[in-house]
Amino acid sequence: MHARIVTCNSFGLQARSVLHKSTKCEAQLSVTAGEMEFRVKVTQQITSHNYAMDNFPASA
């Protein structure tokens, strides 16, 4: 699983990785960040091998 967080700085939008442990699952996500609004679009979901989120602590 890989997750990205998009933050705004003086140079524009910047993405940084917040979860680093891979489950080797292909995920296709797109995130749109607007004014105080986030939208996540899931384009593919495979539920035959879901993992508990407790296995993936977010890094600081």
Q: Tens digit of pLDDT for each residue in 35-57?
A: 666 666 666 666 666 666 565 55
Domain of residue 11: give its range.
3-48
For 30, what's the count of Cα atoms within 13 Å in the CB-facing half-sphere?
4
- Sequence-distant (6+) residues with CB within 8 A of 25 are 1, 46, 49
Residue 15 maps to a domain: yes
Stated pTM of the model: 0.22
Residue 25 lies in a domain: yes
Place of tokens 């879901």: 50
* 21 lies in some domain: yes
- pLDDT (tens digit, 9 = 90+) per residue, 2-40? 455 555 555 555 555 444 455 556 666 666 666 666 666
Number of domains in the chain: 1
- The answer as to whether 33 is a domain residue is yes
Inform me whether the pLDDT recorded for 60 exceeds 60.
no
- Residue 29 forms part of a structural domain: yes
Residue 57 lies in a domain: no
